[in-house]
A and B are shown apart, each in its own frame.
Chain A
Amino acid sequence: MFPLTSSFDFSVAAFLAAAFALGLAFGFVLERAGFGSGRKLTAVFYGYDMAVVKVMFTAIVTAMAALWLASAAGLLDMAEVYVVPTNYAAQIVGGLLLGAGFVVGGYCPGTSVVACASGRYDAMAFLAGIVAGLAAYAQFVPGIEAWVRDNAQGEVTLPSLTGIATGWYVLAFVAALALAARGMAWAERRFAGLRPR
């Protein structure tokens, strides 16, 4: 039955309308989480407001558990779900660059869109930086693209890598979230003095 794209013949317009509607919900939730503010987002790196990890971790665990249940109940065919191919070197190097850009610039691509919609001039500069960075990447180092894709291993997930069933990972992530919540509450008390006034 799910994903709908495999059981239902979407017209192009209907598919794009669905994408727009999902984006509406995505943007609204990010805004309500406080992710339209670079100051709140980068606070995670100084420990006085861990909202970024709380929100992301909870979202990941929620979706992971629900996808696992839907798949186990036969409602969702995971074989029809697109998973980004794995290239560890590319993902680690790219992640390091993105993390550095995140704390320097204040945003990541999705949150900068929300901050832009909230009227933040720095988010508009950040978006201009994204466009400039993409143009420069395509212009000066187009060869990296082929290397990343040609050396990708296809779909590699923790269950496929270790042979341990998905359900155990779901359980482990729920337990890790509960522990992390305690740790983050401690960090927020420990670093409360860093919060700028």
Chain B
Amino acid sequence: MKPADTAARLPAPYWNPYVAGFVLGLVLLATYLVAGRGLGASGAFSALVATIANAVSPAAAQANPVHARYLEGGTPLLDFLPLLVLGTFVGGWIGAKSAGRLRFGLDRGPSIGAAPRLALAFGGGALVAVGAKIALGCTSGQALSGAAVLNAGSLAFMLAVFAAGYAVAYFVRREWL
């Protein structure tokens, strides 16, 4: 194999994490300066689920307090967070594509099979969704955006996220190590 081939197949390295954090901080700053609010992700999925529920049964969706909040304004998907998350998808795709990291497969440790990994991913997603609903935000909206404005509840949220992560990590070590 020629050296040029090797270079073409290796993905570009990740940014230095402190540099990436600085740039991410600038993106968060821009979001506050432009929109008067921080970043977020989970709210976009709430809008999506409210839209699906409304399509399945409008009466039931509009009577449900969780969905109704999103249905008041008309089209829940034409809002700040859904468009932000759509942009996040496209931006992530551009990043992965241009770095040579766009490849279809599973992300998992060496000792877990594909089916259990997919099942744990699904279950973890459901847990994260319920947690984000109760906390009124996820890692983006609470931890990142809230901590930057010294929001006391957001800082408590972030400590809880890491506390639970470290506490549960031991029990799922076969998934990742």
**Does the CB pair A127–B125 fall under 8 Å?**
yes
Q: How far is the CA of A148 from the CA of B24 in the complex (A)?
A: 30
**Does the CB pair B92–A27 fall under 8 Å?**
yes
Which residue on A lies nearest to B136, using beta carbons? A84
Given A29-B24, A36-B95: A104 and B124 interface contact (C-beta under 8 Å): yes
Chain A 5-16 interface mask (CB, 8 Å, partner B; 1/0): 110000010011
Number of chain A residues close to chain B: CB under 8 A = 132
**Does the CB pair A99–B165 fall under 8 Å?**
yes
- Give the contacts of A100-120 with B (CB-CB under 8 A): 100-120
Chain A 27-53 interface mask (CB, 8 Å, partner B; 1/0): 111111110111110111110001100
**Does the CB pair B36–A82 fall under 8 Å?**
yes
- Give the contacts of B26-71 with A (CB-CB under 8 A): 26-39, 41-42, 44-46, 48-50, 52-53, 64-67, 69
Contact size class for B? 35 or more
Chain B hits for A19, CB < 8 A: 35, 80-81, 83-84, 87
Dominant secondary structure of chain B at its interface with chain A: helix
Which residue on A lies nearest to B128, using beta carbons? A101
Q: How far is the CA of A96 from the CA of B134 in the complex (A)?
A: 10
B121 CB contact (under 8 Å) in A2, A108, A123: A123
B20 CB contact (under 8 Å) in A33, A97, A110: A33
Given A90-B135, A148-B134: A60 and B78 interface contact (C-beta under 8 Å): no
Chain B hits for A155, CB < 8 A: 151
Chain B hits for A143, CB < 8 A: 65
A192: Cβ under 8 A from any B Cβ: no
Which residue on A lies nearest to B14, using beta carbons? A34
Which residue on B lies nearest to A195, using beta carbons? B177
Q: How far is the CA of A115 from the CA of B101 in the complex (A)?
A: 10
Q: How far is the CA of A101 from the CA of B80 in the complex (A)?
A: 25
A73: Cβ under 8 A from any B Cβ: no
Offer 6 A-B interface pairs, CB within 8 angstroms, sorted by A: A43-B176, A62-B28, A81-B36, A91-B136, A110-B41, A131-B48
10 nearest CB pairs, A to B: A105-B124, A23-B87, A129-B125, A94-B135, A62-B25, A58-B21, A27-B91, A95-B160, A31-B95, A101-B127
Q: A100-B127, A102-B164, A103-B169 are in contact. List 11 more A-B contacts (CB 8 A).
A: A27-B93, A66-B29, A84-B153, A91-B156, A100-B168, A106-B175, A109-B139, A110-B85, A130-B128, A134-B46, A156-B153
